[in-house]
Amino acid sequence: MAEERVSRWYFGGLASSGAACCTHPLDLLKVHLQTQQEVKMRMTGMALHVIRTDGFLALYNGLSASLCRQMSYSLTRFAIYDTAKNYLGQGRQGPPPFYQKVLVAAAGGLTGGFIGTPADMVNVRMQNDMKQPPAQRRNYSHALDGMYRVLREEGLKKLFSGASVASLRGAFVTIGQLSCYDQAKQLVLATGFLSDNIFTHFLSSFIAGLCATFLCQPLDVVKTRMMNSHGEYRGVAHCAVETAKLGPLAFYKGFVPAAVRLIPHTVLTFVFLEQLRKYFGIKVTT
């Protein structure tokens, strides 16, 4: 009998939070690019503009909301996925089939996306606040202050604005990240050329990050526009129609910065997760 370690239910939230600390500036630039009404700046130009206007630390605006989002959204989806995958794997020779991984990833992503919507909305607003005229800035002190003020000033419904899109996006990105990572890792190890080491984790997570970016970018653009709106959209469909008027490529506005942000975030998340599993995971006998 062989002994291996499996993740504890909260490892995904911790790993995602660690990755968010490293990739937050890329996430901020992605939001700025997606909320441009016209394409005026590219990623490098936007980064220089933010630094010149508000200083280097402005690249970390909204970090508290980003961490709050990871400890709600990512913790939930990883917990559901890992728990369900371990349950499906009981009494089975080898891992569950890919379609089952996709199904449990979609369920985890839908649930996590809904739970993480308030923190996600505040995250978008805090990142985009510096672009607003001084009179229109919301000036949230931190994530909890932002959620409290939205609840008090705009109501519970607004706190979950864009929840349907966020949940759907959560399902797609979780399929792209979690199920594709497990499947890519399984296929890489099956070749026999690589062992279960950090290079395998890097390669598998890079593939997963690429898959996730392709799947979720259109939804990400619509979600960001809805969360940052001042009431100009009547719903998800209306937002999508208005975005489409800017041209088909509007749904992929900021694709490169989204990939530049999501792929490193995915790689770092799984590298951190594998290390947490290796040193602090639960020992099981297979």
pLDDT digits (tens, 9 = 90+) for 253-271: 777 777 887 899 999 999 9
* Mean pLDDT for the chain overall: 87
Q: Is the pLDDT of residue 143 over 70?
A: yes
d(C-alpha 145, C-alpha 276), whole Å: 31
Model pLDDT, residue 29: 83
Model pLDDT, residue 20: 93
CB 252 within 8 A of CB 221: yes
- Ordered by start, the domain boundaries in the chain are 3-285
pLDDT digits (tens, 9 = 90+) for 92-122: 777 889 999 999 999 999 999 999 999 988 8
Query: DSSP per residue over 227-243, as a string?
Result: HT-SS--SSHHHHHHHH
d(C-alpha 107, C-alpha 120), whole Å: 19
The letter for the amino acid at 236 is V
Q: Is 1 exposed, middle or buried (0-12, 13-18, 19+ CB in 10 A)?
A: exposed
* Residues of the chain above pLDDT 90, percent: 42
Model pLDDT, residue 198: 94
C-alpha 265: how far from its chain's center?
Answer: 8
pLDDT digits (tens, 9 = 90+) for 202-219: 999 999 999 999 888 887
CATH number of 3-285: 1.50.40.10
d(C-alpha 151, C-alpha 37), whole Å: 28
Tokens 């690429």 map to which residue?
210
